[in-house]
Amino acid sequence: MRITLEPPASDELAEAVAYLAKDSLQAAESFVNEFTAAAQLLMQYPRIGASLDDDVRRLLLRKFPYQLIYRVLADEIRIYAVAHLKRRPNYWTSRL
């Protein structure tokens, strides 16, 4: 099983890291570590996230107000959004 970030999700990850790094490199590093831990958890337990729709799931990050929106496919987990929980709710639905 592998993780694939769709380009918009990759952009969102980079934007979140850059935003956090403006105030604290430690916070940005912590965010990257938490994202990495969440990705590893998904590889071990692909269906751990809450079901949003038939095949769309979300996994909340523990320390940061972000969620990973993803689908479990045959041999990969495809992440469609690294979405902030309080900004523009459900903006990512058009990506699915």
Cβ 59 vs Cβ 42: under 8 Å: yes
Q: Report in angstroms the alpha-carbon separations of 53 from 56, 68, 69, 77.
A: 5, 14, 11, 16
The single-letter DSSP state of residue 94 is G
The confidence score (pLDDT) of residue 34 equals 98
- Look over the chain and give the mean of its residue pLDDT values, rounded to a whole number: 95
* pTM score: 0.94
Average pLDDT over residues 68-77: 95
Burial 45-78 (b: 16+ CB within 10 A, else e): ebeebeeeeeebbbbebeebebbbbbbbeeeebb
Confidence class of residue 54 from pLDDT cuts 50, 70 and 90? confident
Q: Domain locations in the chain?
A: 2-87
The pair of three-digit structure tokens given for residue 49, joined into one six-digit string: 């996230």
> How would CATH label the architecture of 2-87?
2-Layer Sandwich (3.30)
Beta bridge partners of 66: 84
